[in-house]
Amino acid sequence: MGAIIFCADRSLARPLFDFVAHHSGSDKLGHLFLIGTLAFTLNYALRARTVPLKCCRVQLGGLIVAVAMTLEECSQIWIPSRTFDLLDLAANYTGILCAGWLTRRFVRGNRAMTSKPSIEE
């Protein structure tokens, strides 16, 4: 994420931004993929650890990414060169949800593979 922000600030990502500008929907797919990858990585590092909310339990990594991305997107309201977009936020949340589902599958699979087989006599 830091590398993307660094490149964007230095105009090093201009070819990528030109591609996005000429292909509708690619911006939203980029949000979904990048934020989803970040959420998956953090969730996996935390072994899909969950925390309770009033309505349900959520993965801690996804929650951290959701809060950070919500603050980042909302901060664009006050930055003249940036644009707040609810669809970007929706794509971020979709990526986080997909990452949560994928993380649960990976962690569950790893637990099954590393558990010791029982020896029945």
Which one is predicted more confidently, 86 or 111?
Answer: 86
- Any alpha helices (H) in the chain, and if so which ranges? 2-9, 14-22, 26-45, 60-75, 86-114
Model pLDDT for residues 29-72, shown as the tens digit of each residue: 889 999 999 999 999 999 999 999 999 999 999 999 999 999 99
Which one is predicted more confidently, 19 or 86?
Answer: 86
Rg (CA), the chain: 18
- Tokens 């931004």 correspond to 17
Its pTM stands at: 0.77
> Does residue 121 have a pLDDT over 50?
no
